[in-house]
């Protein structure tokens, strides 16, 4: 999509500003050097103290939704 940001994350992909939908099995969110997780707020991954509990062999998996891996 050439530098255009999607407008909504869906359960199985993203919706673009023109309304089109692209299905995805994996989403790799690259944020450079700063954590940028506000777009994940609807998934309610944060604990009462504000952090996100991570699990898994490499500790990249969000405990509240094992489909989500945070790396970087």
Q: What is the mean pLDDT of each run of 10 residues along the chain (72 residues)?
A: 78 93 85 75 92 91 91 76
For 1-72, strand residue ranges (E) read: 8-10, 13-15, 21-23, 54-55, 61-62, 65-69
From CA 15, how far away is CA 23, in angstroms rounded?
A: 9
Please give the structure tokens belonging to residue 41. Answer: 């707020």
Give residue 31's pLDDT: 64
List 62's β-bridge partners, or say none: 54, 65
Please give the structure tokens belonging to residue 26. Answer: 């994996």
- Confidence (pTM): 0.57
- CA nearest neighbour of 69 among 24, 59, 49: 59
């Amino acid at each position: 999509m050439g530098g255009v940001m999607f407008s909504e994350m869906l359960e199985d992909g993203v919706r673009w500003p023109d309304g089109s939908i692209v299905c995805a099995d994996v989403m790799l969110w690259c944020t450079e050097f700063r954590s940028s997780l506000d777009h994940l707020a609807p998934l309610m991954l944060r604990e009462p103290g504000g952090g996100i509990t991570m699990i898994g062999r490499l500790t990249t998996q969000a405990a509240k939704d094992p489909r989500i891996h945070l790396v970087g």
